[in-house]
Structure 1
Amino acid sequence: MESVPLVLLHAFPLDSRMWDGVRDLLKPITPEQRGGGRSPDLMVVADDVLRLLDERGIERAVVGGCSMGGYVAMAVLRRDPSRVAGLVLADTRAGADADEARANRLAMAARVEAEGVGWVPDTVVGGLLGPAADAAVVEQVRELISGQDPAEVAWAQRAMAVRPDSTEVLASVDVPALVLVGEHDALTPPALARELVAVLRQGEYVEVAGAGHLTPMEAPDAFASAVLDWRHRVGV
């Protein structure tokens, strides 16, 4: 039995339902990451995560996330590393956005505010999923995106656009860390994931065959098994 709880933070532009395929095996805590009209800064939701741990009487947890959720996990680490017993970083990166990526985020935020989210699935789903993604997964991702609040989508894009580089934060922490990446992840590819592992003092690498950027949805059994095996081996 694992000694500490597992917190998993969802990707953009999704919500905690993206973890439904791994709930039975991993028993994670899966908070929503919502700006709620507050300043666009991922530290806002990192503080929400820490507040949730306080409310549940949890001193330390394994904190993980997919894509944007990974950025929030790094923000939690930046805010209070003493609360993090281990890291699970899936399809994410340590670096801040380059100028072009930042501009694209801000442009998307403005368009979503003006037009809503109806156009977003057609724009992003192809980049989120691997080429062999199951049709049911494609439809599920489309539905999750279509159900998001435009204000929250815009908030998240602006918050990610201003996030700092987390390389030094990750290099400074000495806890077990698992880095997972889809074989066909076009947004944070395996080469980038291997660079992330190299930064970590206790980093391990798992490549999920056939998956794209949303490994917990595209290959839930492989994702959950990798996390369980790692937790048992490293003792968190």
Structure 2
Amino acid sequence: MADLPLVLLHAFPVDARMWNPVRGGLTTRHRLITPDQRGLGRTPLPGTDREPSLDDAARDVVALLDKLELEQVVLGGCSMGGYVTMAVLRAAPERVAGLVLIDTKATADAPEAAQARRDLAQRAESEGVTGWLAEAMLPNVLSAETRETRPDVVETVRDLIDSQPPAGVAWAARAMADRPDSTALLAATDVPALVIVGEDDGLTPPDGAQAMAETLPSGELVVVPQAGHLTPLEAPAMVTEAILGWWPFV
């Protein structure tokens, strides 16, 4: 099991380039797979009459594992990537040997939060995303420390958000709004699991991450100081060290 690949799914509303800061460190020890999710980055949004659902995003991941002939992987993600990871657990738990859940949560959206996602989707479709989405998201996804002292990270995240296709942003927002609570699912998932959270993450705070780690039968928690909701971009060395130090498959 030492050669299990690590599949990491990106956050919203960015793409797999968010993993670039941790890629070098992780690939010294593990095979790393970081797909763009449907409608974002370089992955097209498939035409479908179905309502947006993270179950379809999960099927994309399983199809990728089939294509790569991977029976099992360590699966994880940041924020929305964590939600898709949980959807994969519902669809194909036998494919998941371990979990890395970064700045994400198991609970469903409250009604007002779900409505805010639907409003965002509608605006993305009508106006595009350039000029407003990054400005709206940056205070929520980056810590004050990062925004004040790391202009390079701020610009990287701004560029990532600005480059996303509006239709993909809208699809993902609606799919997240309708996702189910996954607390019971995690409680029944007895695989090695690492939960990472930024100390200053206001969207999925450390207390929620601690609850998630305690819900998982084999969960461990790492809190990253002075980081917000995008720890792989804000504190890549610490995230890399956390994953490599935790890796239980020998």
TM-score (norm 2): 0.91
What corresponds to 2:215 in structure 1? 199
Shift of 1:45: 1.2
* One-letter identity of the residue aligned with 2:143: G
Residue in 1 aligned with 2:8? 8
Aligned partner letter, 2:249? G
Give the TM-score of the pair, scaled to structure 1.
0.97
Distance of 2:54 and 2:164 partners within structure 1: 18
The residue number in structure 2 matching 1:189 is 205
Alignment partner, residue 93 of structure 1 = 105
Instruction: List structure 1 segments (4+ residues) > 4 angstroms apart after TM superposition.
Output: none
Structure 1 residue 43, shift from structure 2 partner: 1.0
For residues 153 and 17 of structure 2, the distance between their equivalents in structure 1, rounded to whole angstroms, comes to 12
Distance 1:108 1:51 in 2: 29
Pair 1:45 & 2:57 matched: yes
Q: List alignment gaps of at least 5 residues for structure 2.
A: 40-44
Task: Report the AA paired with residue 80 of structure 2.
Answer: M
Alpha-carbon distance in 1 for matches of 2:56, 2:26: 26
Alignment of 1:42-121 (within 5 A): 42-118=54-130, 119-121=132-134
Question: Residue 180 of structure 1 aligns to which amino acid in structure 2?
Answer: I
2:11 and 2:38 mapped to 1: Cα distance? 12
Q: Aligned residues: percent identity?
A: 56
Q: How far 1:3 moved relative to its partner?
A: 2.7
CA distance in 1, matches of 2:38, 2:249: 31
> What is the distance in 2 between the residues matched to 1:2 and 1:218?
28
Q: What are the ranges of 5 or more consecutive residues in structure 1 without an aligned counterpart?
A: none
Alpha-carbon displacement from aligned partner over 1:4-43 (angstroms, at most 9, x marks no partner) = 0000000000000000011112232001111514330011
Residue 235 of structure 1, CA deviation: 1.8
1:131 paired residue number: 144
Number of residue pairs matched by the alignment: 234
Amino acid at match of 2:70: I
Let me know the Cα RMSD of the aligned residues: 1.1
- The 1-side partners of 2:88 and 2:175 are apart by 14
Secondary structure of 1:132's partner?
A: helix
